[in-house]
Chain A
């Protein structure tokens, strides 16, 4: 460091007319996730911005090519660590598409319930983090209070709060606990009330409104061209939701709305997410009513699903089946398939190529926020420095997913 107390003659301190470069991140308190934005400033106006990602690159796709198909689940957990259950379900569905199998109805409902809980948790985390970055600490605590209720349910079901690794090809790791419906039904009204309280702290707050309203707008046409999906696209007025447009699992049996915005600014993105929490609660209410009380969770195919533990310990067939699946992996027939689901951020795609062995030949994840963050540079050009924080916050970049 050079000393700061230098003697500078007055005449030499004429203001510079040339623009200034400012480096934002990669580790900055106002950015959740490690991303670097290099900005060319004119005064406080951003003339040009370059968003640089990759600080959380962990070689997800390379690692997937080393184990068996089931061993990918812990990795997809860590891609989106805010709603890992949705990634688990998305990957399981993609492999099942390649295998040509469908899980039993009870498992489909179970996946919907756990997935929608994760979606609420994701939206809550984003909204909480965004409001905190704008200086509102109390809503953060409020939303996290609601998120903790969800994490309690997920912990009871899966045994882990965040990285569940609970999905399996052809089913789930464990059947639902007997009190799943009671737990979810008990927690939903409390989440709903807490979210309403947290929302009320924000939506009439002058400072919060001023920093969101009309800032970071994008047109529907631009958003589509950039490949945006999910709440960010819907906030621009395009009612595209994979759950409605291409229903998977049992989403066609639920009555829910797809909230859309009009201007595609930060405010719309915030409000779309709040509304989606309510819609997810509606789905959960219906799913807990419709879910069959008993029935199989895993498909009945010993080539795909592990045998029950007592069979493994007592019968030779069970031991062999267990050994084959653990040591060789599930033999997915050669071919390729693209499975896509609606994750909390948008369309989460898995493009899988199999060569017929137990190891994936290529696992390609299509993270929704990769496309969304690629539009960030264009979004903040022309804005001012303080607008970067809410704009970046409202896009919901999840570093693990964006950087693969």
Chain B
């Protein structure tokens, strides 16, 4: 079953499948970043693969390597019972240019996982509906899980947020700002 899955993927992607392995019983396919979304959509929709569930998405940093980051996704098929680890490699050694197509359109659950990967590793996902930091806060500087981020770095003090700014994802025309309304007499009421 397991080797079959990698063969199906190899037949579909052709040269876009860079590597495949089955170490420790985990089937792994490394694909070209350009066909990341295509591979994801194929794995979900093809009846032989039927990967309805995206279990996990994360990234691993290899600062000495070009491309620098491994983006790793674990997929699972409830009907067939098989699993696959889909990987791709992005980013320059400086950490720039780490961009990838978002798979939120394929699995809705990828939303927060991609936000987390963006927050922790600084990989941006094109086409993500709401790419904000999730575990840290908007003023956070850097991406903490990168290997060049020292574990004991102290973040700058965040100033008290003045005013009643809208909280994302609400834009300025949605909802009501926090705080009391003024009723024309210049005083809060």
Rounded to whole Å, the gap between the CB of A61 and the closest CB of chain B is: 6
List CB contacts (< 8 Å) of A300-335 with chain B. Answer: 335
Complexed CA–CA distance, A40 and B183 (Å): 22
Rounded to whole Å, the gap between the CB of B131 and the closest CB of chain A is: 14
> In the bound complex, do residue A57 and residue B74 qualify as a contact, i.e. CB atoms below 8 Å apart?
no
Q: Does A59 contact B (CB under 8 A)?
A: yes
Q: Does B81 contact A (CB under 8 A)?
A: yes
Smallest Cβ-Cβ distance to B115: which chain A residue: A374
> In the bound complex, do residue B170 and residue A40 qualify as a contact, i.e. CB atoms below 8 Å apart?
yes
Question: Which residues of chain B come closer than 8 Å to A336, judged between CB atoms?
Answer: 23-24, 26, 28
- A interface size (C-beta, 8 A): 59
Q: Does A98 contact B (CB under 8 A)?
A: yes
**Quick check: which of A72-80, A146-154, A251-259, A362-370 contacts chain B, the rest being far away?**
A362-370
Smallest Cβ-Cβ distance to A228: which chain B residue: B109
* With A2-B188, A19-B174, A21-B175 already in contact, 8 other A-B pairs whose C-beta atoms are closer than 8 Å: A23-B167, A50-B170, A54-B133, A227-B110, A347-B55, A366-B74, A370-B113, A371-B112
Beyond A6-B189, A54-B135, A61-B145, whether A226 also contacts B109 by CB under 8 A is: yes
List CB contacts (< 8 Å) of A342-381 with chain B. Answer: 347, 349, 351, 353, 361-362, 364, 366, 370-371, 373-375
Of B56, B137, B151, the residue contacting A349 (CB under 8 A) is B56
Complexed CA–CA distance, A202 and B120 (Å): 42
Rounded to whole Å, the gap between the CB of B32 and the closest CB of chain A is: 20
Complexed CA–CA distance, A38 and B166 (Å): 10
Rounded to whole Å, the gap between the CB of B61 and the closest CB of chain A is: 8
List residues of A whose CB falls within 8 A of some B CB.
2, 6, 8, 12-13, 16, 18-21, 23, 38, 40, 48, 50, 52-54, 57, 59, 61-63, 65-66, 97-98, 100, 222, 224-229, 238, 240, 245-246, 335-338, 340, 347, 349, 351, 353, 361-362, 364, 366, 370-371, 373-375, 403-404
List CB contacts (< 8 Å) of B9-59 with chain A. Answer: 23-26, 28, 52-56, 58
- B interface size (C-beta, 8 A): 53
Q: How many A-B residue pairs have CB under 8 A?
A: 140
Of B83, B151, B175, the residue contacting A66 (CB under 8 A) is B151
> In the bound complex, do residue B81 and residue A245 qualify as a contact, i.e. CB atoms below 8 Å apart?
yes
Complexed CA–CA distance, A361 and B63 (Å): 12
Q: With a 10 A CB-CB cut-off, give which of A59, A227, A228, A370 has the most chain B CB atoms.
A: A227
Complexed CA–CA distance, A63 and B145 (Å): 10
Smallest Cβ-Cβ distance to B187: which chain A residue: A6
Nearest 6 A/B pairs, CB to CB: A227-B109, A374-B112, A366-B56, A54-B135, A226-B109, A2-B188
Q: Does B89 contact A (CB under 8 A)?
A: no
> In the bound complex, do residue A57 and residue B135 qualify as a contact, i.e. CB atoms below 8 Å apart?
yes
Complexed CA–CA distance, A228 and B188 (Å): 46
List CB contacts (< 8 Å) of B65-82 with chain A. Answer: 72, 74, 78, 81
Mind listing 7 A-B residue pairs with CB under 8 Å?
Answer: A20-B176, A40-B175, A54-B136, A54-B137, A62-B144, A238-B78, A370-B113
Smallest Cβ-Cβ distance to A57: which chain B residue: B135
Question: Which residues of chain B come closer than 8 Å to A19, judged between CB atoms?
Answer: 174-176
Of B78, B137, B149, B174, the residue contacting A40 (CB under 8 A) is B174
Question: Which residues of chain A come closer than 8 Å to B58, judged between CB atoms?
Answer: 351, 364, 366
